[in-house]
Amino acid sequence: MSGSSQDPPANDSRTTVAELRELVRQFVAERDWQQFHTPKNLSMSLAIEAAELMEHFQWLTPEASRQIAGQPEKLVEVGEELADVLCYALALANELGLDVAAAVHDKMDKNRQKYPADEYRGRYGPEDASASPTADEA
Amino acid sequence: MSGSSQDPPANDSRTTVAELRELVRQFVAERDWQQFHTPKNLSMSLAIEAAELMEHFQWLTPEASRQIAGQPEKLVEVGEELADVLCYALALANELGLDVAAAVHDKMDKNRQKYPADEYRGRYGPEDASASPTADEA
Amino acid sequence: MSGSSQDPPANDSRTTVAELRELVRQFVAERDWQQFHTPKNLSMSLAIEAAELMEHFQWLTPEASRQIAGQPEKLVEVGEELADVLCYALALANELGLDVAAAVHDKMDKNRQKYPADEYRGRYGPEDASASPTADEA
Amino acid sequence: MSGSSQDPPANDSRTTVAELRELVRQFVAERDWQQFHTPKNLSMSLAIEAAELMEHFQWLTPEASRQIAGQPEKLVEVGEELADVLCYALALANELGLDVAAAVHDKMDKNRQKYPADEYRGRYGPEDASASPTADEA
């Protein structure tokens, strides 16, 4: 389904972030598009693609949005929008020289401290009064 | 800078997409947050984080936005927002069972056909009248 | 609650769009901010404020989002974000010289043709299989 | 160009916010769309339309984005997107029972206090080191 014909298809288990970044970098370089790829423009593009992704879920109930997982044609469409989001995210990382894996690891460390598992189990945030039974009893 | 203390810090060259997905999956599972992670909600979160990323470039000239690459403190802030975008993108992939690397490869194949390098070199799209010298002469 | 002290408070029934536009224009002019108010920048600002508005509903169920209407403090917060959206929308209209009321009327005319009431009653779009009166009876 | 055939065309000087709200309310009621118009869904719609508006300026230089003001066909397209943004903003105000004119007045009062004209003249925010000559000397 993807990759050049002689290679096995790409998948998340054997693809590094660097390989995806290189794919994007090459596509941009071949078209001489770095001139348009200012961080400002790329941040707009990312937000635009995020909105296109959101459009697929706009009028669905939360439950119906979960059912997309079992609808192959819809899933392909959603996958394309998600890919667009990721391509621009990686293009931005390329322009700024940001290491994506390190940034994600650092942010997750921060999130673990901001949202201790015991305190936030079953609660989406400080505003959420409903809590997991365990947390309630504490 | 990141990862558990005994591991070498994560970086894009040696981190697979699957590893980042697992990091997100575990964080969500530990907090019992799958209940909030409907694709609808995650698509909203992704768009919200994309807007927060964009906020860093909102009033900058395109040129000033490029200079962020050389401003370490700003770069950390932007990296955090980019990480947020990616974490929600991966959380969405987790919920929908989408393979990110395959989706990106497929979309890039499609983009290569939609935007042939010769035709779009130096032009951001069909509307862009300015064109590469070669394309102009053709 | 609003307006200068001697005036009756502004309300939608007696406030024209032009009056709101003038309020925004004056605020911008007094700060010499037209230089930042390129349509490009304003479109970013509008999208950013729309995301901040969305943030209030991000984790709520659809039903819980309706209940905001009866929660005065939350309503003030949401009202502020909505005001931000509108101020940037009006600032953009000011910069581009667009008449907002005419644009809304024109678009509603177009929407009435695109979504005939009989065909779309109870259906959010072509994808929504649930729903026309006829379908209800079936 | 707009409105029903016997009326003079709508314009910002003689159209109240309430009139635009009523136009939207009626359109929604005729299609029985209140059921889809949860504040959550409307906030998504607003963000999606804001992104579509932004798309017109995505790859333009700030200067080129200003020139849209003098390009009638582009202006019509941009006006349609701006109308979409406003229609959803008004639909949200309708659902929540928010007075838009009051909210805008209140927010502008707050903004005048947050950004005193003397301090912010020629500066887009606290981060902007460049300042108006007067402010510099003060």
Kindly determine whether residue D57 and residue A44, on different chains, have CB atoms separated by under 8 Å.
yes
List the Cα angle C42/C46/C52 in 5-degree steps: 145
Taking CA atoms, what residue in D is nearest to C10?
A: D102
The tokens describing C113, both together, are 């043709």
User: CA-nearest residue of chain D to B56?
Assistant: D127
- Measured between CA atoms, the residue of chain C closest to residue A43 is C44
Strand partners, C16: D16
- Contacts of residue A32, Cβ cutoff 8 Å, sequence gap at least 6: B121, B122, B132
For C73-118, how does the pLDDT look when each residue is reduced to its tens digit (9 = 90+)? 999 999 999 999 999 999 999 999 999 999 999 999 999 999 999 9
The pLDDT > 70 percentage for chain B reads: 88
Chain C contact present for B47, CB below 8 A? yes
Which of D30, D96, D109, D113 best tests the C interface by mutation, with the highest count of C CBs <10 A?
D96
pLDDT of residue A6: 60
Kindly determine whether residue D54 and residue A48, on different chains, have CB atoms separated by under 8 Å.
Answer: yes
A45-49, B29-33, B126-130: which has the minimum mean pLDDT? Answer: B126-130
Measured between beta carbons, the chain D residues lying within 8 angstroms of B124 are: 59
Chain A touched by C36 (CB under 8 Å): no
3-state secondary structure C1-70: CCCCCCCCCCCCCCCEHHHHHHHHHHHHHHCCCCCCCCHHHHHHHHHHHHHHHHHCCCCCCHHHHHHHHH
Contact assessment for residue B42 and residue B91, using Cβ atoms and an 8 Å cutoff: yes
D22 touches chain B (CB under 8 A): no
pLDDT (0 to 100) of residue D130:
62
Closest residue of chain D to A44, computed from CA coordinates: D58
**Shortest alpha-carbon distance between residue D13 and chain B (Å):** 31
Closest CA to A54 of A42, A68, A70: A68
How far apart, in whole angstroms, are the C-alpha atoms of residue C10 and residue B59?
A: 31
Determine the average pLDDT of the residues in A5-25.
91
D130 contact B CB<8A: no
- Cα distances from C116 to residues A59, B62, C122, C132, D32, in angstroms, run 19, 44, 12, 11, 12
Confidence of residue C126 (pLDDT cuts 50, 70, 90): confident
| Beta bridge mates, A16 | B16
Put simply, whether D126 touches B (Cβ < 8 Å) is no
Q: A51 and chain D: CB distance < 8 Å anywhere?
A: yes
What gap in Å lies between CA B79 and CA A93, rounded to an integer? 8
Q: Is the Cβ pair A125, C59 closer than 8 Å?
A: yes
Per DSSP, helices labelled H in C68-120 are 72-96, 100-114, 117-120
pTM of the model: 0.91
The reply to whether residue B125 touches residue D59, judged by beta carbons under 8 angstroms, is: yes
Interface with chain B: mutation pick from D59, D67, D73, D74, highest number of B CBs within 10 Å: D59
B86: which chain A residues are within 8 Å (Cβ-Cβ)? Answer: 86, 89, 100, 103-104
Q: For residue A122, which amino acid is it? A: G
Q: Which residue type, as a one-letter code, is found at position A107? A: K
Taking an 8 Å cut-off on Cβ atoms, the answer to whether A44 and D36 are in contact is no
Q: What is the pLDDT of residues B88-99, one digit of tens each?
A: 999 999 999 999
Q: Please write the tens of the pLDDT for every residue from A94-117.
A: 999 999 999 999 999 999 999 999
Please indicate if any CB of chain A lies within 8 Å of the CB of D64.
Answer: no
Kindly provide the ipTM of the predicted complex, given to two decimals: 0.90
Q: What is the pLDDT of residues D17-64, one digit of tens each?
A: 999 999 999 999 999 999 999 999 999 999 999 999 999 999 999 999
- What's the pLDDT at A5? 53
Confidence of residue D3 (pLDDT cuts 50, 70, 90): very low
